[in-house]
Amino acid sequence: MDQSMSSSPDSPPNSPPGCPADCPPLPEGYQLYGYRIERMLSRGGFSIAYMASDSAGTPVVVKEYLPIQMARRAAGSQALIVSSASQGKFNHGMRSFLEEARLLARISHPNIVAVLDFSKANNTSYIVMRYEDGRSLEEYLHRLRESGRKIREDLLRNVFVRLLSGLREVHSQKLLHLDLKPANIYLRKDGHPVLLDFGAARWGLGSPDGSLGNIYTRGYAAPEQQGSGEGMGPWTDIYAIGATLYACLDTGQAPQAADLRMNADEVEPAQRRWAKAYSLQLLELIDWCMQIPVRARPQSVYALQKVLNGELLDLVDPAWFRK
């Protein structure tokens, strides 16, 4: 950690900026079973991600369940303290957190983040995941934007063919991701994608559970995540796939949020906006995925893959996404 960085007024000394004084991250060198905490990678409303290493020195990522509105660290300890008023919600969220780990641990797919271990400690829970060397799609798009370049269609083809393969496996386990976006798509150094951060996936297919509040990202979240009244399903993640592709063409700028689109849709169809820059087949596919009514979208990743394989030739050329 860069020691020259100053802490925020609410942060304890030597803690990363923005960390609440009563909820700092685990300290560098802390031993969590067989894992050594190296530094904090990121922090969200419900968890902290750490860079860590196992007993052999292999880098891993450790994710700690820590909803900052419900828990704090005990003074002089790494254990969490939860108020009696919040204990029920906290326990429910922790069960969902561990269920996420159990479900992901069953998935062995090259484009899904690998869960290596999960356990309880410090009155909370932890998930240990394989460390992936690379950068997020969001970071890649940012660099393109800074250099004034546009993303290549062949790169999108390579990334999203593999991403859809992984997402189909997730859906086969009765799990939805529900927060697909460029920041949660990691690109290895070979360009192959890994789908990260299933923190929003506390819903089984068709069984929403919003007791901890909805977790989604405006611009990528589907209308049914923002009050349209329609049920969630694989088509919900498919909307986010379309929105992510749209953002890729717009060098990382998220499209208009779905709740705003339901009132006054200002999203220019991809077919019109990028008519001369990308293939018509790609642009049609994006517009199809981003339809507001659930039934107007692909109903499953399998249906989307069928299009990409050329079985619905009226929409997409069979050569699209093919090496």
**165-219 per-position pLDDT tens digit:** 999 999 988 888 888 999 999 999 999 999 987 765 544 444 444 444 556 889 9
- pLDDT tens, position by position, 262-290: 999 999 999 999 999 998 888 999 999 99
Q: What is the CATH number of domain 31-130?
A: 3.30.200.20
d(CA 103, CA 125): 15
DSSP class of 178: -
CA dihedral of residues 290, 294, 300, 301 (deg, nearest 10): 10
- pLDDT tens, position by position, 19-41: 566 688 999 999 998 999 999 98
User: pLDDT-based confidence at 259, cuts 50/70/90?
Assistant: very high
Every domain of the chain and the residues it spans = 31-130, 135-308
pTM recorded for the entire structure: 0.81
**Residue 282 contacts by C-beta under 8 Å, 6 or more apart in sequence?**
153, 156, 245, 270, 320
Give me the pLDDT at residue 3, please.
28
14 compared with 292, residue with greater pLDDT: 292
Sign of the alpha-carbon dihedral angle for 225, 227, 228, 229: positive
> Is residue 209 within 8 Å of 268, Cβ to Cβ?
no
Instruction: Please give the average per-residue pLDDT across 152-167, as a whole number.
Output: 91
- Catalytic residue numbers, as ranges: 179
Q: What fold is seen in the domain 135-308?
A: Transferase(Phosphotransferase); domain 1 (1.10.510)
Q: Average model confidence (pLDDT) for the chain? A: 84
